[in-house]
Amino acid sequence: MRLGLIGCGNIGKFLLQAINEDGLLPGSKIVAIYARREEIAAPLSDEFKAKAYGDVDAILKSDVDLIIEAATVEAAKDYGLNVLKSGKDLLLSSIGAMADPDFAENANKLCQMNNVQLFLPSGAIGGLDILKSANAMNGLETVSITTRKPPSALPACSSLANEKVLFVGSAAEAIKQFPRNINVAIVLSLAGLGSERTKVKIIADPNVVKNIHLIEATGSFGKLKLEVENEPLPNNPKTSYLAALSVLATLQNNEKCVQIG
Ligand SMILES: NC(=O)C1=CN([C@@H]2O[C@H](COP(=O)(O)OP(=O)(O)OC[C@H]3O[C@@H](n4cnc5c(N)ncnc54)[C@H](O)[C@@H]3O)[C@@H](O)[C@H]2O)C=CC1
Ligand SMILES: O=C([O-])CC(=O)C(=O)O
């Protein structure tokens, strides 16, 4: 596979290292990168032997097979549909884009029309397999996620002495208010009850150093309780290491004949 990358921050650099340097996706390479600033793209282009492009359209005209978005929800919305229109597969890190009903509907249509695929990795959480099974006969009743992060991983709460609940509400509202911090709630919504019925609580907690996500669900299947204590990425406390790993794992699994889960 020839891969294109939009966004050269922490997840992007992790992928360049893992795929182009460490060979963790045999037969595939990131051959095209786009960062908004040339001074970011140029040294990465040299180091990882991936051509830096000045805009995304130029990458879409090249012979890449799949585009990885590792930028922001806004960027995912700006570029995502054009990627699918151009006949390339798309992998979104910023799954929050899918909370926009127009974007989600158009993305679905384009995938069908152009016979391309949209990959939505599980990111910094898990349990999506359970929710999908639990809802196979519409038996899922409640789904919630409680996210607890250090204040440095959340906006506008750097000097907290005690834990503070920043948000309680639907996943649809959470991603509007915290587009950089709660993409996990949207992938959870997509696997289960949708973004209006998925409940979210976000807590800034000065006593934790990890990004902790507690997922709870009930339904005819029984009950689910799953807590992930995520190590943050070294250069970005906002992003969990598992989120970057899940992008790599999705790419490693997408063409396998035997599909697990
Ligand atoms: N699904 C999940 O569990 C998670 C998803 N995410 C999503 O992944 C994204 C990337 O995460 P990180 O790499 O840790 O963030 P980061 O902040 O380290 O890197 C993002 C990079 O994208 C660049 N960027 C922003 N807008 C752009 C645009 N329009 N075009 C090209 N580049 C652009 C920024 O300059 C930055 O270098 C986050 O913004 C978030 O939306 C992050 C963590 C978990
Ligand atoms: O990395 C995490 O723990 C979750 C996150 O930022 C997101 O879902 O946007």
Return the CATH number at 232: 3.30.360.10
- Same domain flag for 85 and 144: no
pLDDT value of residue 54: 95
Q: Do 150 and 208 form a contact (C-beta atoms < 8 A)?
A: yes
- Same domain flag for 30 and 115: yes
Least confidently predicted of 16-20, 159-163, 241-245:
159-163
- Same domain flag for 20 and 91: yes
pLDDT value of residue 187: 98
- Same domain flag for 147 and 201: yes
Mutational test site, ligand 2, from 93, 183, 200, 202, max ligand atoms within 8 Å of CB:
183
Locate 23 and state its tokens. Answer: 């060979």
Residue 142 pairs in a beta bridge with 218
In tens, the pLDDT along 32-46 reads: 999 999 999 999 999
Closest ligand 2 atom number to CA of residue 213:
3
pLDDT value of residue 195: 98
Mean pLDDT of the chain: 96
Task: Give the closest residue to 199 by CA, choosing from 139, 242, 164, 147.
Answer: 147
In this prediction, residues 117-122 reach a mean pLDDT of 98
Could you list the active site residues?
A: 213
- Residue 250 confidence (pLDDT) above 80: yes
> At which of 65, 95, 120 does a domain end?
120
Looking at the chain, the whole-number percentage of residues with pLDDT higher than 70 is 100
Give me the CATH number covering residue 93. 3.40.50.720
Task: Give the closest residue to 235 by CA, choosing from 45, 23, 13.
Answer: 13
Q: Find the domain containing 138 and state its range.
A: 128-238
- Same domain flag for 136 and 114: no
List, as residue ranges, the binding site for NAD(+): 124, 183
Is 107 in a helix, a strand, or coil? helix
- Residue 257 confidence (pLDDT) above 80: yes
Q: List ligand 2's pocket residues with C-beta within 6 A.
A: 123-124, 181-184, 211, 230, 238-240, 243
- Same domain flag for 132 and 115: no
| Ligand 2 centre distance from Cα of residue 214 (Å) | 13
In this prediction, residues 152-169 reach a mean pLDDT of 90
Domain count of the fold of the chain: 2
What are the strands, taking DSSP E only, across the chain? 2-6, 29-34, 51-52, 66-69, 89-92, 118-119, 140-149, 164-170, 198-204, 211-219, 222-230, 232-233, 236-240
Banded pLDDT at 167 (limits 50, 70, 90): very high
Is 68 in a helix, a strand, or coil? strand
- Residue 158 confidence (pLDDT) above 80: no
| Ligand 1 centre distance from Cα of residue 129 (Å) | 25
Tally of CB atoms within 10 A around 235: 10
- Residue 234 confidence (pLDDT) above 90: no
- Residue 156 confidence (pLDDT) above 90: no
Task: Please give the Cα distance from 252 to 22 (Å, whole number).
Answer: 14
Ligand nearest the Cα of residue 211 is 2
**ipTM of predicted assembly, 2 dp:** 0.98
Is there a domain that residue 258 lies in? no
In this prediction, residues 5-19 reach a mean pLDDT of 97
- Same domain flag for 107 and 141: no
Banded pLDDT at 159 (limits 50, 70, 90): confident
- Same domain flag for 133 and 234: yes
Tally of CB atoms within 10 A around 193: 23
Is there a domain that residue 200 lies in? yes
- Residue 207 confidence (pLDDT) above 90: yes
pTM score above 0.90: yes
Contacts of 126 by beta carbon, 8 Å cutoff, 6+ apart: 215, 226, 228
Q: Do 71 and 250 form a contact (C-beta atoms < 8 A)?
A: no
Is there a domain that residue 244 lies in? no
Q: Do 93 and 69 form a contact (C-beta atoms < 8 A)?
A: yes
Banded pLDDT at 237 (limits 50, 70, 90): confident
Is there a domain that residue 23 lies in? yes
Is 230 in a helix, a strand, or coil? strand
Least confidently predicted of 78-92, 145-159, 197-211:
145-159
In this prediction, residues 64-81 reach a mean pLDDT of 98
Locate 160 and state its tokens. Answer: 């907290």
Task: Give the closest residue to 123 by CA, choosing from 232, 246, 14, 13.
Answer: 246
Hey, what's the torsion of the CAs at 191, 183, 240, 166, to 10 degrees? -120
Hey, what amino acid is at 184?
Answer: V
Euclidean distance between the first and the last CA atom of the chain, given in angstroms as a whole number: 23
Is there a domain that residue 45 lies in? yes
